[in-house]
Structure 1
C-alpha cells in the first residue's frame, strides 16, 4: 500500500481493536515492510495517538489511553450501533443522557454515509419503545438540528405548538438545550417577541437553521443555572406540590427517580419527598409503584386518587 494517508488510516483502524499487534502481522496486513510500520507508528505518535510498543522476539503495538481523546475510526456496524443508541437515548430524554450526547449524535449523523443513515432510520422505525410520562418523545433529527444551531450560534426557524394547541412560527437565537431527565427544553431568545423563552422540544417541528450567525446575549437573571431552572419550571405548565414519605433510605429512592425529584432523609432508612412537579398524575402513580419500596402519599389528593384507580385496574387484571 503506497498511499501513506490511506495506510495510516488503516493502521489506526487496526490499532483501535483492543489487542496487541505484532509488527510483522501489521506489515503483512498492510503489505509493507516492518520498517515502514515503525515509521508509520512514529507518525501516529506525532499526531497525538498514544501507541505503546512492547519489546521481545516478536514485539508488538497497541493503542493505549492518553491525555486526550483521539479521533476514532468506526466500521459500519459500530457506527450504526452507536447512532441507534444515541438516538434512542436522546429521543426519550432518558435520565443521564444530556446535551453532550446530542452533540455526539449531531456529529455522527453529519458524517454518516447515506447507506448507514438509512439503516439507522430503518432500525429505529421498526422498534417500539416503552415510554413514560405523557408519552412525549422527540425526533432525533429535531434534536440534532437544534444542537447544531446552538453549537454554531445560528439563528433558527421552527413551528411551535403551545400547551393549548396554538400553532406559531418562531425565529430564535438558540442558547442551550437542557434535559430534565424526562423532557428536553430549548432555551432561546425569541426575536419576534424580543424576550427569552423556553420551548418544549417535543412541541417543536420543522427546525430550519437560517445560516445567520449571532452573538450570544446575556441571560436576564445573570445566574445561568437559576434561570434555566426557573424557565423550565414555567414551561412545564400547571404544577402540584408533592409530599410523599418512603420507608427506604434516601439514596435508594433518589437512585430510582428522575433528578428533579430528590427525597431528603428523615431518619435511619426513611426519607421524604417534597417537590413541585408538572409531571402527569398517571406517570407519577406508576413511577412510585415501580419503586418497589413502601411509600405513603401525603399530598396531592389527585395523586392518591390515581393510585386508587391504578390499584383497581391491576386488581381487575388479576381476577
Structure 2
C-alpha cells in the first residue's frame, strides 16, 4: 500500500480525523498486523506526537485533546483543488486576498512531494481564469469579520447605504452569508425592521461584532430567501433562446439572475426573465455564437429594428434626425 514512512503519516492523519481509532481499525486500513500498528504508534510518540491510549491488540488510540498538526500530505487531486481555489478568489470579488493567496500557495508548494508539485504546476499553467464582468469587489477583512460573527452567532452592527436610502446604522442577526451572481450578501433578522432582510456586503462599512448572541432558525435556506426577495420589476418578458454553444462554454458569460441554462440539441436552451429587451439583445449579439430567438415576439422585433439600423449604418447613409428620433422613441416606449 505505502512505504513505512507513509503508513506512519497515515496513522497521524487518521488520529487527527477521528476522536479515537482502535488498533484493529488501523491494522485493517494500513493492511498490516496489530503489532506493526503498535510500532507506528511508538514511532509517532518518539517524534513528540502526543498519542494516548493502550498499546494492546484491542487498544484504542487518540491524540491528546487540543493537539493538531497542519496536514502533512496531499493527494494530487487535493493539491490541485487547493491551488485552483486560491487562484479563483478573484472570481468571488476577493482580489484583495491575492497577496495572502500567493503566500498560501507558496507554503502549499513547499509541502508537496516533487512529483506532485510538478504535476500541479503544469495543470495550473494550463488553466486561465477570468472574473465575470458583474463580479463586485468586496472588502475581504469585512467579509472575514462577518463570517466570524455568523459562526459565533453574534449580532453585528454596520453602516449601510443603498441607492434607495441614505446611510443608516443597522444591527442584524446574520444567519448566513452567501455569494450570488457576482455579489456577497448577508441574510438575517434586521433589528430596525424586526424582520428578515438581505444586505449587500459591498454596501456595508464600519462593521462591529457585538457581544450579543442569537439563535438562528434551524435549516434556514438563505439562498431560497434571497432569490425570493430579488423579483424583477413588472412586467418581465419570458425569454427562450437556443444558443449554438454548449452550456459549459456559456457559464461565467451569462448572468444567473433569473436565468436557466440547459443542454439541448447540441447547444444550450436559455430561459430568462428580463425587462430591458434591447440590452438583452445586445448581450446576445456579444456572445459571438449563433442563436435562435423562440420567444417572445417582442425580442424578435427588437432584433428587426437593430438589423434595420445596422443596414443603414452599413450603407454609409446617415439616418435623418427625425427617423432616428422616431426609432429611439419606439424602443424607449417598448422598454418601459
* TM-score computed with the length of structure 2 as normaliser: 0.48
Which position in structure 2 is the counterpart of 1:98?
none
Which position in structure 2 is the counterpart of 1:209?
209
Deviation at 1:161, TM superposition (A): 1.5
CA deviation profile, 1:93-148 (whole Å, cap 9, x unmatched): 9xxxxxxx9xx99xx9xxxxxxxxxxxxxxxxxxxx97613x63221122112111
Q: Contact (CA 8 Å) 1:241, 1:274: kept in 2 or not?
A: no
Report SS of the residue matched to 1:166.
Answer: strand
Change (3 A) 1:160 1:64: closer
* Bigger CA radius of gyration: 2
- Indicate whether 1:238 and 2:245 are aligned: no
Change (3 A) 1:263 1:64: closer
Deviation at 1:208, TM superposition (A): 1.0
Deviation at 1:231, TM superposition (A): 2.7
Which position in structure 2 is the counterpart of 1:159?
159
Q: Contact (CA 8 Å) 2:240, 2:272: kept in 1 or not?
A: no
Which position in structure 1 is the counterpart of 2:182?
182
Report SS of the residue matched to 2:147.
Answer: helix
Q: Which has the higher contact order (CA 8 A, sep 6+)?
A: 1
Q: Which runs of 5+ in 1 are unaligned?
A: 1-11, 13-34, 52-61, 73-80, 94-100, 109-128
Give the Cα separation in 2 of the matches to 1:190 and 1:290: 41
Deviation at 1:188, TM superposition (A): 0.8
Number of residues paired by the alignment? Answer: 218
Give the Cα separation in 2 of the matches to 1:233 and 1:210: 29
* TM-score computed with the length of structure 1 as normaliser: 0.50
Which position in structure 2 is the counterpart of 1:262?
260
CA deviation profile, 1:242-300 (whole Å, cap 9, x unmatched): 5141243653455444555322344x224422233699986x66764554431245457
- Indicate whether 1:294 and 2:290 are aligned: yes
Question: Which of 178-187 and 270-279 deviates more?
Answer: 270-279
Report SS of the residue matched to 1:150.
Answer: helix
Supply the RMSD in Å over aligned alpha carbons: 5.0
Q: Contact (CA 8 Å) 1:243, 1:272: kept in 2 or not?
A: no
Q: Which runs of 5+ in 2 are unaligned?
A: 1-11, 13-41, 52-60, 105-129, 315-336
